[in-house]
Amino acid sequence: MASGRVGGTRSKIRGQVGDVVYQVVRNPDGSYTQISYGKAEDVTATITPRLQAQRMCTSMVEALMRDLRPVGTISMQSGANKSKSLNAFSSYNLQLVARDCQANWYGNNQFFYPKTNNVGTPSEQMGGRYMLSSGTWQYDGFDEIVHLLRPWEVFGYASFLGKRFAGFRFRLQSEPEQVDAFLKRHYMSRLDTLVFACFHDWLEYTIDPDDPTYCTRHSYIIATIKATIADNAIVTPEVLSSLFQLDSDWEVFQSVSGDGRDYYIGILIDNDVDNAYFYTYGGFTISYLEGKKKISSSSMKVVEGDADTYFLHQAPADVFGSWMGESWNVPYPSPF
């Protein structure tokens, strides 16, 4: 219903008459002007398969970003600051998922695609061959990023039966070595940063011991070198355990191997107790050895066997029916 308003010698109305909306606008000189326009049509957004496929891919990258935000802010050499690095990290990974979604709709998928009811749950962080970093640096400060299926054989601890490890491996010298020589041999300066990331799962028993919650997440370790360790300090297990400042969202494990040949920094999980597995892992280096910031390029690689099983039946065609309200429709036809 419209109502009248006096302005000058005419009555101006505001409100709605039929499909016409009237509005009174005050002018700078104090007078009033009446305008009218047609009522906006109530348009209900059409849910199309392509739009839902885009939403599915976006939800996967959003889950990745929530876990690896600290990594994304420092992983792109082209990023002039943390915000631009994070944006590039997000954009590139979204492109990777979108291309995989289209190319591998019915199988051979390189990422784990979720059903809608999995988004927002403790197990929503879906793994895959995500890009971790991009840059021009050709060396890494570590000798290798490893996944140890039987860490008890490496560390010599019987208590490690059933556990699994993923992280950095540093080769040690058989003869005494100073810290500065250790860093030089690993192409590291005092300003460098080493980054490790992995995707793993576990069962959480804290809520209901009889009904554990299945949880997944991407975890990370960001290692920087402490200035308090002298260059001429002899490399020993004690010195190595104090050499790095470690920022992580998971408990960090450090140890020299049983034969004394290698030093490891990473994450240790318990398969026997928590039914825990690693599925993807990777790492990179941020180097200042040449006087300017350079980053090595890296992507997540999969754990052979375990990851293949994890990705099975999680191709887009296997889950996309839930995004279209047709959970029974498997395999869902490709919209591309």
Q: Give the model's pLDDT for residue 254.
A: 96
Asked whether the predicted pLDDT for residue 141 surpasses 90, the reply is yes
Same domain, 188 and 243: yes
Q: Give the model's pLDDT for residue 11.
A: 54
Q: pLDDT band at residue 158, thresholds of 50, 70 and 90?
A: confident
Provide the whole-model pTM: 0.84
Q: pLDDT band at residue 173, thresholds of 50, 70 and 90?
A: very high
Same domain, 21 and 63: no
Q: What is the mean pLDDT of residues 121-136?
A: 90
Same domain, 249 and 313: no
Number of domains forming the structure of the chain: 3
Residue 153 covered by a domain:
yes
Same domain, 114 and 235: no
**pLDDT: is 11 or 47 the higher one?**
47
**pLDDT: is 8 or 335 the higher one?**
335
Residue 216 covered by a domain:
yes
Q: Give the model's pLDDT for residue 5.
A: 46
Please report, rounded to a whole number, the percentage of residues in the chain having pLDDT higher than 70: 88
pLDDT tens-digit readout, 204-233: 887 677 788 999 999 999 999 999 999 999
Same domain, 120 and 265: no
Residue 43 covered by a domain:
no
List the single range of 115-129, 190-204, 224-238 with lowest mean pLDDT.
115-129
Asked whether the predicted pLDDT for residue 88 surpasses 90, the reply is yes
Q: pLDDT band at residue 6, thresholds of 50, 70 and 90?
A: very low
Residue 116 covered by a domain:
yes
Same domain, 152 and 274: yes
Q: What is the mean pLDDT of residues 231-236?
A: 96
Three-class SS string for the chain? CCEEEEECCEEEEEEEECCEEEEEEECCCCCEEEEEEECCCCCCCCCCHHHHHHHHHHHHHHHHHHHHHHHHCCCECCCCCHHHHHHHHHHHHHHHHHHHHHHCCCCCCCECCCCHHHCCCCCCCCCECCEEEECCECCCCCCEEEEECCHHHHHCCHHHCCEEEEEEEEECCCCCCEHHHHHHHCCCCCCCEEEEEEEEEEEECCCCCCCCEEEEEEEEEEEEECCCCCCCCECCHHHHHHHEEEEECCCCEEEECCCCCEEEEEEEEEHHHHCCEEEEEEEEEEECCCCCCEEECEECEECCCHHHHHHCCCCHHHHHHHHCCCCCCCCCCCCC
Same domain, 58 and 198: no
| Whole-number average pLDDT of the chain | 89
Q: pLDDT band at residue 43, thresholds of 50, 70 and 90?
A: very low
Asked whether the predicted pLDDT for residue 132 surpasses 50, the reply is yes
- Full residue range of the structural domain in which residue 141 is found: 136-296
Residue 255 covered by a domain:
yes
Same domain, 200 and 181: yes
Same domain, 147 and 242: yes
Residue 44 covered by a domain:
no
Asked whether the predicted pLDDT for residue 321 surpasses 80, the reply is yes
Q: Give the model's pLDDT for residue 1.
A: 46
Same domain, 111 and 31: no
pLDDT tens-digit readout, 292-312: 999 999 999 999 877 778 888
Q: Give the model's pLDDT for residue 19.
A: 64
Residue 162 covered by a domain:
yes
Same domain, 118 and 79: yes
Asked whether the predicted pLDDT for residue 7 surpasses 60, the reply is no
**pLDDT: is 202 or 45 the higher one?**
202
Same domain, 27 and 124: no
**pLDDT: is 95 or 119 the higher one?**
95
**pLDDT: is 134 or 118 the higher one?**
134
Residue 45 covered by a domain:
no
